[in-house]
A = this chain, B = another copy of it.
Amino acid sequence: MTAQTDGFDRNSSPQHKKPGAEHAQAALPDLYRHVRARSVELIDGLSDADATVQSMPDASPAKWHLAHTSWFFEIMVLHRFVADYAPFDPRFDYLFNSYYDSVGERHPRPARGLLSRPTLDEVLTYRGHVDAAMAQLLRGAIPPQALALIELGCHHEQQHQELLLTDILHLFAANPLRPAYRAAAAPLPASDAAPLRFASIDGGMVEIGADGTGFSFDAEGPRHTTFIEPFDLATRLVTNREWQDFIEDGGYEDPRLWLSDGWAMARAQNWRAPLYWEQREGQMLVMTLEGMQLLQPDAPVSHVSYYEADAFASWSGMRLPSEFEWELAAGTVKLDQMFGAVWQWTRSAFAPYPRFRASSEAVGEYNGKFMSGQYVLRGSSLATPEGHSRPSYRNFFPPHARWQFTGLRLTRDGQGPI
């Protein structure tokens, strides 16, 4: 097995270089095929059992990700735009609905891991059935509404590709055997970290949100104006070494550093380090997609919750950036590790932009209904598919979530221009 097929190589899609052109029907079949093939590549090496088990209610089985992303095309596109579409199995409407209340009942989320049937092979056959129908649709003239939904389905599937990896990691980390997903999946950069420095950024009236030149999710718009005060943003992410300093300085024992909810959670769950860190015989190891590895002090810290990120920032005498500060920096100055290492917690609650309106159709449930109890993360991670992120991208998770590839970038109130 070569590194190319072993890792889930984030640079493997040269055909997907021009996101601005995706809306054109010409590019869509390629995008569709590329994304669909990528999902199947990701489960290479996983057994039917690996792909079936659910390690916690927040995670989903790999098989479920494969099926649900097909369900999305079946329900949102094929049922509506292909007159004589014959569903693969009508019971899948129920089995693989994630959270769309408007399209009917669904299998309960915490019970996704009970589905030893359909088998992984049957799910792959289901994917083939959907792909065949989609291929036929894509060969003809497609209504603009369908085009938009197909494009959305591709980006939706990319989101699930990242979740598939984080969920597999969580499953394997719960197994005392600590199996590796792959020998060379996608290690975090571990070369010497640069000294911690800050870029000073002028605020002012700035434009925020997707600019309409390529695909974006509904929650990335409408583009609008906001006012930002001057701030300084770290030129790189917080490292494992810095997190070890926080631990050694009693960061997990000092309630004054923590948000009240965070302190309660940290005590209830007995948090003492990022998820997946494991002290063994005097060494600090960390569970990764490559199995148990020595902790790399210069790599960005990962698998920390918002609560921990906020406590770390308080301990540092600084704070987390707002999502607008992050987006402004991403668009105007060149900082390291903005994309491709770990998602970066912002202090911004996930909320609608001014004049945001969710669609009245089923896809209106995509983002809008999650706009409470979640914080925005910006950037992307080592597990994010190539081409899936951008400066306006708004990822979101609840503040206690730790199983994603999540870290932080320090910020402080500014004095003036860079």
Contact = CB atoms under 8 A, between A and B. Distances in A.
Contact of A49 (B119, B171, B255): B119
- In this complex, the member of A50, A225, A375 whose beta carbon has the largest number of chain B beta carbons within 10 angstroms is A50
A355 B229 contact: yes
A316 interface: no
A373 interface: yes
Contacts of A53: 49, 52-53, 113-114, 116
Contacts of A91: 176-177
B370 A116 contact: no
A12 interface: no
A150 to B, nearest CB: 23
Contact of A351 (B176, B347, B352, B373): B347
Interface stretch (A190-198, A256-264, A270-278): A256-264
Contact of A373 (B174, B261, B263, B413): B261
Interface string A345-388: 00111011011000000001100011111010000000000000
Contacts of A33: none
A261 B370 CA distance: 7
A260 B349 CA distance: 15
A114 B115 CA distance: 14
A48 interface: yes
Nearest to A63: B49
A94 B176 CA distance: 9
A85 interface: no
A227 interface: yes
Interface string A168-184: 00011011110100000
A375 B371 CA distance: 12
A405 B50 CA distance: 30
Nearest to A372: B259
Interface in A82-137: 91, 94-95, 99, 101-102, 107, 111, 113-120
Contacts of A113: 53, 113
Given A256-B365, A349-B351, A413-B354, A175 B116 contact: yes
A47 B119 contact: yes
Nearest to A50: B116
Contacts of A399: 372-373
B351 A171 contact: no
Contacts of A175: 114-117
A232 to B, nearest CB: 13
A174 B111 contact: yes
Interface in A220-240: 224-227, 229
- In this complex, the member of A306, A354, A372 whose beta carbon has the largest number of chain B beta carbons within 10 angstroms is A372
B115 A259 contact: no
A55 interface: yes
A43 to B, nearest CB: 12
A260 B116 contact: no
B55 A52 contact: no
A200 to B, nearest CB: 15
A282 to B, nearest CB: 21
Contacts of A227: 205, 225-227
Contacts of A48: 47-49
A134 to B, nearest CB: 24
B260 A355 contact: no
B229 A354 contact: yes
A256 B95 CA distance: 20
Given A113-B113, A369-B258, A372-B306, A49 B176 contact: no
A185 interface: no
A51 B53 CA distance: 11
A326 interface: no
5 contacts: A50-B116, A101-B256, A101-B263, A113-B113, A260-B372
3 closest Cβ contacts across the A-B interface?
Answer: A349-B349, A101-B255, A49-B52
